[in-house]
Structure 1
């Protein structure tokens, strides 16, 4: 049963990463307007054409990276080795917690104009980490019952 749970968590994270990656690559402006409002989105897109091109290129590469991570998560979902699944889940928890700490330490200072947007991102990182923690608890309970 733990293998099926691992598959579901990986597929869920894969769908989230692939969707976010595609949105970042192709619909950056629309996502910024939807999530931050028109005024803040204009600030985020840069003031000169050169800045706008750099920001769009950076967002496209970030989206491509997220898409690749989602694709890798999709492939990992089919691994049946329980030791690998546990190690992978612990690594994902560490990665999400480290990302949340990064956002609290550095992004908070950069995103002051967005008024609390970093809090939403930290909550999202912690929710993703919790899904892996729940998987680890579930497999631990299954192992020792």
Structure 2
């Protein structure tokens, strides 16, 4: 007899994980290899120039930090890809709750700290909407799986 928690769930978890995986791998790759172009595109040329640093040492340190952040995003994307194949409903719900908490924490970070950085103050509302949308996808999955479990 198969317990309800280990039975295969809907393809929603798989789809959401793949979507988030593609976003993370793409953003990570762009951060690692095309950071200057992405900074100019998203922040404008003046702000991008300020974010590069003023001395060669600062520029190298910032480039290294951004490359490692991109590498971390790519690793998260590959991890999401691997997790998308897990069929255990209990794990899926636990993972989705953790992702909601992560995105909510990032949104709070943007509201309380990132908006105070003068060079980034104009961009935080757009990024906040992105965090809320990513979190909302997991919340909708949790609602759908809860409804599926108790119907």
Q: What's the TM-score bracket when you normalise by the shorter of the two chains?
A: over 0.9
Contact 2:114 / 2:121 at 8 angstroms: preserved in 1?
no
**By how many angstroms is 1:108 displaced?**
1.2
Instruction: Give the alignment's Cα RMSD to 1 decimal.
Output: 1.1
Per-residue Cα deviation, 1:51-104 (whole angstroms, up to 9, x for no partner): 110110000000000000000000000000000000000010001001110111
Larger Rg, first or second structure (1 or 2)? 2
- 2: CA distance between counterparts of 1:4 and 1:41? 40
| Alignment partner, residue 13 of structure 2 | 6
**By how many angstroms is 1:48 displaced?**
1.1
- 2: CA distance between counterparts of 1:114 and 1:61? 20
| Alignment partner, residue 139 of structure 2 | 133
Select between 1-10 and 98-107 the one with higher mean Cα deviation.
1-10
**By how many angstroms is 1:35 displaced?**
0.6
Is residue 44 from structure 1 mapped to residue 21 from structure 2 by the alignment? no
TM-score by length of 2: 0.92
Select between 15-24 and 36-45 the one with higher mean Cα deviation.
36-45
Q: Aligned pair in 2 of structure 1 residues 34, 26: CA closer, same or farther (>3 Å)?
A: same
The residue correspondences of 1:6-45 to structure 2 (distance < 5 A) are 6-45=13-52
Match of 2:127 among 84, 97, 121: 121
- 1: CA distance between counterparts of 2:48 and 2:122? 15
Per-residue Cα deviation, 1:5-32 (whole angstroms, up to 9, x for no partner): 1000000000000000000000000000
Name structure 1 gaps, 5 residues minimum: none
TM-score by length of 1: 0.95
- 2: CA distance between counterparts of 1:24 and 1:74? 19
| Alignment partner, residue 83 of structure 1 | 90
**By how many angstroms is 1:144 displaced?**
1.8
- 2: CA distance between counterparts of 1:3 and 1:96? 23
More helix by share: 1
